[in-house]
Structure 1
Amino acid sequence: MTLDTNGLDTAQRRVFGELTARSWSDAGLRLRYEREPVAVLAEYDIHLAEGMPAPALPPRPAAEVVVETLSDPVAVTPPCLDFCFCWMQVSK
């Protein structure tokens, strides 16, 4: 999946990843983002430059999503910082 987050710094990309993961489990958040992305981004302390379009939220993956906040970000090797989300295919 390719996501256009040009113009966002590393910390903002990490927070946008958290917003993305939350939107996958919270339809209300996704709907609010679709209606007023700048306001939702501001709630996550992401402020876009004048005229910069808000990145689109990627669609929810078909696989199960597991979201974890890591308790010891120092022990995590890049590219994960202190928040990471992964998806895996679950057998039915």
Structure 2
Amino acid sequence: MVRNGGTMIRVTAVEKLVPQPFTVLGWAVADIAGSVAALVSRGVEFVRYDGIGQADNGVWTTPGGDQVAWFTDPDGNVLSLTEFSG
């Protein structure tokens, strides 16, 4: 268990990892374009999904205006960044 400020994060070791096709951990960010650019500059590649109309930087804008981008960790788990509208 890790405490980051007032937030607890619990991580469980597993005997065999089976990456899931959905987001397993995500962060809310204030500036998704800047966050994506910072991660790309460090070598992170963002995932593109067919048929959802992501921008050139991999960000998808939901019908409600939220913006989401996905990437994977070294084990293949899907992680995300979300900038909530309003």
Structure with higher RCO (Cα < 8 A, 6+ apart): 2
User: TM-score under structure 1 normalisation?
Assistant: 0.22
Higher relative strand content: 2
Please report the TM-score for the alignment, with normalisation by the length of structure 2: 0.23
